[in-house]
């Protein structure tokens, strides 16, 4: 959710949600085909996925914090320029010549395609998503249904993915609607989201390694 909030504040909520839904959809299909069970039952696969997922979260978290720092530097530069202009206006004509060179700082936004890819990686590289599909979805499979277990798992997985998509859209757009009109609050939330992603990334990397052996 920290990633969704951060993406929503960067006006990339739709792309982030699309990516996460695509990742969930791939896992849902893998669950129906029995491939997700392979990931869950082989410790080394789960560890590799977890470490990669943790690295992705670390990258996203540090990028969010870097964006906050760049934004603050840009605000500081703008305040300095404004003060210089006021001082120049208050001086008598001809008291001094020279212009103030301003180098505007802008935060580089990831492309829409890159945001979709990031969202998909957040889902695909989270071992807990695999476990959720394996433990939650199969409970609703009915042995009396005319459909095969695979078909039921696929349908149930699609329902779960659709539900997650609606929830994720609410989080991303809710964050944008509430905070984009409040720049300072948005900056604080973005920084907090970045810190949360960094902490979660470290936990995701370290936790499976502690259980080795």
The CA distances from residue 120 to 23, 41, 116, 132, in Å, are: 4, 22, 6, 17
Distance (Å, rounded) from C-alpha 162 to C-alpha 156?
Answer: 10
Q: What's the length of the chain?
A: 213
User: Is position 98 within any domain?
Assistant: no
| Dihedral over alpha carbons 160, 29, 144, 38 (to 10 degrees) | -110
Residue entry with tokens 């890819």: 117
User: Is position 29 within any domain?
Assistant: yes
In the chain, what percentage of residues exceed pLDDT 70? 79
pLDDT at 135: 80
Distance (Å, rounded) from C-alpha 50 to C-alpha 40?
Answer: 11
User: Is position 151 within any domain?
Assistant: yes
User: Is position 95 within any domain?
Assistant: no
User: Is position 93 within any domain?
Assistant: no
The boundaries of the domain holding residue 182 are: 2-88+105-210
User: Is position 99 within any domain?
Assistant: no
Number of domains in the chain: 1
pLDDT at 76: 60
pLDDT at 197: 83
User: Is position 12 within any domain?
Assistant: yes
pLDDT at 28: 92
The half-sphere exposure of 212 on its side-chain side, counting CA atoms within 13 A, is 11
Ranges under pLDDT 70 in the chain: 1, 40, 74-109, 211-213
Distance (Å, rounded) from C-alpha 155 to C-alpha 146?
Answer: 13
User: Is position 97 within any domain?
Assistant: no
């Amino acid at each position: 959710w920290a990633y969704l909030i951060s993406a929503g504040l960067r006006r990339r909520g739709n792309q982030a949600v699309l990516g996460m839904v695509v990742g969930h959809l791939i896992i849902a299909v893998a669950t129906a085909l029995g491939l997700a069970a392979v990931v869950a039952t082989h410790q080394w696969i789960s560890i590799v996925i977890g470490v990669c997922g943790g690295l992705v979260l670390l990258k996203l978290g540090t990028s969010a914090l870097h964006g906050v720092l760049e934004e603050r530097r840009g605000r500081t530069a703008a305040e300095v320029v404004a003060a210089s202009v006021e001082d120049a206006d208050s001086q008598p004509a001809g008291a001094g010549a020279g212009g103030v060179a301003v180098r505007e700082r802008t935060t580089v936004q990831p492309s829409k395609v890159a945001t979709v890819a990031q969202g998909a990686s957040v889902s695909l590289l989270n071992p807990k998503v695999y476990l959720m599909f394996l433990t939650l979805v199969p409970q609703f499979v009915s042995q009396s249904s005319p459909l095969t277990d695979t078909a039921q798992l696929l349908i149930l997985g699609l329902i779960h993915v659709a539900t997650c998509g609606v929830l994720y859209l609410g989080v991303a757009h809710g964050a944008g609607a509430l905070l984009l009109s409040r720049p300072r609050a948005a900056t604080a939330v973005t920084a907090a989201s970045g810190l949360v992603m960094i902490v979660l990334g470290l936990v995701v990397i370290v936790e499976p390694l502690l259980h080795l052996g």
